[in-house]
Structure 1
Amino acid sequence: MKPNSVPPFTELVAACHHSAVHLEMRDVYGVASEANDFAEWQATGEIGPASVERRRPWLDLVRETVARGVVMRRARIVSMPVSEYIRYEHAGTHLNVEAGEQVRWLPRKKAATLALPGADLWLLDGRLIRFGHFSGDGALTGHELNDDPAVIKMCADAFEAVWDRAAPHQEFTV
């Protein structure tokens, strides 16, 4: 499927019945919708009420999805010491966890011996991958769907290997 023909994530996760797992491997994301929140965090060191409110659609989606019995897991591979952006992500991750998402962190050094895909991804019900493509500065350049069984197996194995080595959010400090 061409990147511009990928359905919105909300539609993809609505079709999930069992699991939605997310593998993140970048140290910085330059997603325009987070720019104000990131700037606020840089200025205050806190995730403020306005930032929480802007995250509400995602947090509500997580709550609704988990309430349907879908397990949502996110694994982040990060360089140490972490980037300023990763400190920002870490500061707000408790909101994801409170909404029902399970999150783990893996220092990049501990991932050195793992075979990993070349892009961030969501694996939905072990049947469909949504790759996220980013530019060098972290701007989102598009998404791509893949349902090739060999690619799905490789990505599922990679995610589980990261998950097994990673620390739960509550145990990971930045």
Structure 2
Amino acid sequence: MPSSVPSFGELLGKCQRSAVHLEMRDSYALTERFEAWQRGERIDWADRESWWHPYDQLISETVARGVLIRRARIVSEPVSEYIRWEHYVTHANVTAGEQVRWLPRRLATGIALPGNDFWLFDDTLLRVHHFSGDGAVVEDEITDEPSVAELCRSAFETVWQLATAHEQFTV
């Protein structure tokens, strides 16, 4: 059955001011890219054509039209191997125009956090990610419920203020 949830590209295309993404898992479903990194393969960052993906292009175009895109990640320490890889590939996110920050989980105790990762578009529309225990996406949900959007907005902003910029965060 096809999803009734608009694609990420559609949602970002309608976004006018800001898109924020909060990630709170220490691992997600395994990918070929992660497995290649585990085998010691590294990206040639100088060869942009080899790693620039449609996602990166979408982010770049969205930032170019004035939308602020921020991503915050809450991570356990010491970080998982998956997070070390994510930190490594975040170079692509930053190059595309995202601002990225990292918050050690031990600093998040006093923050009222939602139960799921999410994207929040223009502070009003949420795309909530539901994952299985092994990190695979089960489904995405869209909501514009004001109280839920406000919880997510507030949580993201608090995490953002406490987090360390990608360029200064070491794993």
The TM-score bracket by the shorter chain reads: over 0.9
Change (3 A) 1:52 1:107: farther
Change (3 A) 1:143 1:53: farther
Equivalence for 2:10: 11
- Are 1:62 and 1:101, in contact at CA under 8 Å, matched by a contact in 2? yes
Aligned residues: 169
What is the correspondence of 1:131-150 to structure 2 with a 5 Å cutoff? 131-150=128-147
Task: Report how far residue 55 of structure 1 moved.
Answer: 4.9
Task: Report how far residue 137 of structure 1 moved.
Answer: 0.6
Equivalence for 1:27: 26
State the TM-score, normalizing by the size of structure 2.
0.93
State the TM-score, normalizing by the size of structure 1.
0.92
Change (3 A) 1:119 1:52: farther
What is the correspondence of 1:20-99 to structure 2 with a 5 Å cutoff? 20-30=19-29, 35-44=31-40, 46-48=42-44, 53=50, 55-99=52-96
Classify the secondary structure of the residue corresponding to 1:106: strand
Task: Report how far residue 46 of structure 1 moved.
Answer: 2.2
Q: Considering only aligned residues, what root-mean-square deviation do their CA atoms show, in Å?
A: 1.8
Classify the secondary structure of the residue corresponding to 1:89: helix
Change (3 A) 1:134 1:55: farther
Task: Report how far residue 99 of structure 1 moved.
Answer: 1.1
- Are 1:40 and 1:47, in contact at CA under 8 Å, matched by a contact in 2? no
